[in-house]
Structure 1
Amino acid sequence: MYQHSVSYFLEPLLAHHDPARVETFCYADVATPDAVTERLQKLSHHWRSTRPLSDEELYEQILGDRIDVLVDLTGHTGKNRLQMFARKPAPLQITYLGYPNTTGLAAMDYRLTDIDADPPGLTEAYHTETLLRLPRCFLCYQPLSTAPAVLDLPGKTMGRITFGSFNNLPKLTLSVIAVWSQILHAVPDARLILKVRWLEDEPTRQHYLDLFAAQKIPPQRVKLIGMIPDADHHLNFYNNIDIALDPFPYNGTATTCEALWMGVPVITLAGSTHVSRVGLSLLNAVGLPELITHSHQEYIATAVTLAANREHLANLRSRLRPQMAASALCHGMAHAQAVEATFHTEFSKWNL
């Protein structure tokens, strides 16, 4: 619970919980608290610093707090507490947000999602948990209050289209690079910007330039940017991008929301698993179904068509932030109400 992509989606939920219906306990394993930690702590009714606690001690703490619904935000990511969850300290245990897959734990009862990310009948076989589908997007995004302004379409001043992706490198598979290269071949004056912290490493940079070179994309058409530590400067770099390309089969989440907030349309390729349908869920929530594709060919064609219409791109850029702000993706109150209603319904079933 600090400056992390999960916090952008947790904060609006905590901020809009109804205190007459919900009493919140946050168990925070934070080594270095920051301003985000302080905000989240103020939004929680009870704050427990768990970093010094063993799994056994944390289990006893949760039992003592008499928690009805315990929500996991880490899954199989680093420093998780799944061994503690396996002991079942709460009657209902739900995994959410931080890990886009099943925990595989019999003790984890549910996974919170929505009908777009996990359509009924499509992904149940991949989960040990029962899927709880919210009526709207399973995510609610809170943009930075200090986010920079959306500037004019860079394609107008640069005289060429710039595609971009700020997603983590493991998502950039050979298939992704091949498809993105086909887009660059079809839009011969375009360039591609990739930004992620690992690109500060020279051998890593050269490796990715070599992968594009194998697709006959010269290095001058691919710009590689390393880490920009300041959040505002990071967001401001989207003002260099005309169109964002979502990787597949592992879509972006926070990066997609950031791009949209900065006026940059995101093209996604929907698949048949949760991680490959997050982009679909986000774009439907914002009201941009035309940016959702279902094949490599459609993905390429959508990117090429969008790049060819700069007037449309400029109009889309100017209206994206207010459109997103008014959408389900940024409606914290409605999201919190939906989550509360879902939790109450499932707990009532258990408590019969």
Structure 2
Amino acid sequence: MPHRFLPKQKLALLTTIYWFMLSYIIAALLFWYIRLQQQNEQMANYKLLELVADDPAYLQKVERINLESQRKNIQYRGEGLTFLGIIIIGAIFVFRAVRRQFRVSQQQQNFMMAITHELKTPIAVAKLNLETLQKHRLDEQKQQKLIHMTLQETNRLNTLTNNILISSQLDGGGYKLVKEEFNLSLIIEKLLVDFQQRFPERIFQWTIAPDIDFRGDPLLVQIMISNLIENAVKYSPRNEPISLALYSDDRFIIIDVKDLGPGIPDAEKSKVFQRFYRIGNEEVRRTKGTGLGLYLCKKIAEDHHGTIRLADNLPTGSIFTLKFHHS
């Protein structure tokens, strides 16, 4: 049986055992409630049989025994419902916690598979290119092509390691956020020029309002915008443009990154910002990535008191919108 179904089978088995045990506990609770009710009725009947019929206080004693029996019935019912409520609430909490832990474990496993592939591929390509340059006398054009490919793979490694390190530091509190004033327009223009050089076959379009100042951490802001552009490059067809717009109004600085890729289903829109989360099955996925890029975008945006939103780019594709208050 394929390995990728094992975690789901294990979760299904544990879920079945869990609900069986919960059903058993509830059945046992119901059983003891019925037994206590029966015992209470028997005790009341014994007390009634002990009464003397010609006792002047006979009716008062009968009423007192019946009231005591009713009180015990109410007490047992209240205690039973209380225990039942506690069991159900605890069961729901434990069930959700266990499922969440399984999802996190699966996402971490997917991350390890992805990171292994992401590390091995650029290293192998760079090694092969360097060995080719070393062993063969190539003309200038072929040499430049191999060097360009090697630099591309090196940039991939650099982006990957930056994402991993920054993600770990931000989550662990080891990164000290720097707040300084800088020209956001110039930084984004430089990033886009770099992407044009890295991907000369791709079409990049941008509209950048000049001299928009931003207060924040320049490194994190560059990583955030680079990840959004990188994400668009991964999922856009090669012959379709990737668009970026930077503008501002009276209240906000806004950055839009648009692509004409397949888009993201509505059910997945909120999940893509989760750490390690990626759409699809990791073992058959062809798209590169680790599931950290969009998570970092949201984390960095929130650390700068901003927001990130995902919308459909009609007729196809996605629009990621960053929005920050003016400093």
Q: Please report the TM-score for the alignment, with normalisation by the length of structure 2.
A: 0.22
Q: TM-score, normalised by structure 1?
A: 0.21
Higher fraction of helix: 2
